[in-house]
């Protein structure tokens, strides 16, 4: 067992379709390339896609884990963890969204305690609903990656989320503007965005990261950063993603 406590990094948003899961997996790929041992936990309990994106043939999920903890059937965490490659493991979300309602948030700290000394980085993907599960997850995170897009509704929600973070005293979050999702629909300038959300934008995923046939790569079950067939017009973007990844585990400012 590793004697060093791993970093818990949660990727969240207040709107679906902003690229949380793909960004979570790309961060996992960056850490894997750097030689870190990574666990990806899918806490998007109603619509988790990590296992689907990675073509994981998982039989056990977070629901199974919580059920076994509740009924004293739990033996070891490894029974619920699935290996993607030598450095990246996953714990999948429930296969049936009805199971999500049966997962008590009190088990989240326990799950973290059982993995935090076994991995260098624990990456958590969440839903876009600020429910009890997400609140407890955020409370137990070392770093929070908040993602949003250049969209009127999204910016409104982002302003509210950041206001909540400041009200409760959270300082461990970074804001990530994803322009690669809808590259032709960038309605607001960076100046406008900062004025609307009343906060700086720490990191931007630029339009050059847009992949037209992204579904094809997702169906291949491969983390995008590992796919040698992909060729991005701006190699600087991967360097920026690496900078973001390192800042999250070393508590440094992001080099934009």
Each residue's pLDDT tens digit in the chain (256 positions)?
A: 467 899 999 999 999 999 999 999 999 999 999 999 999 999 999 988 999 889 888 889 999 999 999 999 999 999 999 999 999 999 999 988 889 889 999 999 999 999 999 999 999 999 999 899 999 999 999 999 999 999 999 999 999 999 999 999 999 999 999 999 888 778 899 999 999 999 999 999 988 888 877 777 777 787 888 776 665 545 777 788 899 999 999 865 444 4
Closest alpha carbon to 124 in 241, 250, 249, 11: 11
What pLDDT score does 234 carry?
A: 54
Q: How many CA atoms lie within 13 A of 59 on its CB side?
A: 2
What pLDDT score does 232 carry?
A: 52
Strand order in the sheet with 143-148: 82-83, 88-91, 38-43, 121-126, 7-12, 143-148, 173-178, 203-205
Q: Where are the beta strands (DSSP E) in the chain?
A: 7-12, 38-43, 82-83, 88-91, 121-126, 143-148, 173-178, 203-205
What pLDDT score does 237 carry?
A: 77
Closest alpha carbon to 50 in 105, 114, 124: 124
Q: What is the DSSP string of 124-144?
A: EEE-SS--HHHHHHHHT-SEE
**How far is residue 149's CA from residue 181's CA, in Å, rounded to a whole number?**
8
What pLDDT score does 2 carry?
A: 60
Structure tokens at 70: 């509740």
Total-model pTM:
0.93
Q: Which residues of 231-253 are buried (b: 16+ CB within 10 A; e: fewer)?
A: eeeeeebbebbbbbbebbbeeee
What pLDDT score does 218 carry?
A: 72
Architecture of domain 7-250: 3-Layer(aba) Sandwich (3.40)
What pLDDT score does 230 carry?
A: 67
What pLDDT score does 253 carry?
A: 47
What pLDDT score does 231 carry?
A: 53
């Amino acid at each position: 067992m590793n004697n060093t406590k791993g970093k818990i990094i949660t990727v969240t948003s207040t709107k679906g379709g902003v690229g949380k899961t793909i960004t979570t997996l790309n961060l996992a790929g960056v850490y894997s390339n750097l030689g870190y041992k990574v666990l990806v936990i899918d806490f998007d309990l109603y619509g988790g896609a990590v296992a689907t994106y990675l073509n994981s043939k998982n039989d056990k999920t977070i629901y199974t884990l919580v059920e076994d903890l509740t009924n004293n059937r739990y033996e070891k965490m490894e029974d619920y963890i699935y290996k993607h490659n030598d450095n990246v493991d996953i714990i999948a979300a429930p296969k049936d969204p009805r199971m999500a309602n049966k997962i008590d948030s009190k088990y989240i700290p326990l799950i973290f305690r059982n993995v935090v000394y076994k991995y260098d980085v624990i990456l958590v993907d969440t839903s876009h609903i600020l429910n009890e599960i997400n609140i407890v997850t955020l409370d137990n995170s070392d770093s929070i990656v908040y993602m949003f897009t250049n969209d009127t509704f999204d910016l409104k929600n982002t302003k509210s989320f950041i206001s909540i973070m400041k009200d409760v005293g959270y300082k461990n979050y970074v804001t990530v503007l994803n322009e690669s999702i809808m590259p032709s629909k960038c309605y607001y300038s960076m100046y406008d965005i900062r004025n609307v959300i009343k906060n700086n934008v720490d990191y931007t995923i630029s339009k050059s990261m847009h992949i037209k046939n992204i579904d094809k790569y997702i169906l291949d079950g491969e983390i995008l950063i590992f796919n040698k067939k992909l060729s991005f017009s701006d190699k600087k973007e991967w360097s920026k993603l690496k900078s973001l990844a390192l800042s999250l585990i070393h508590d440094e400012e992001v080099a934009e």
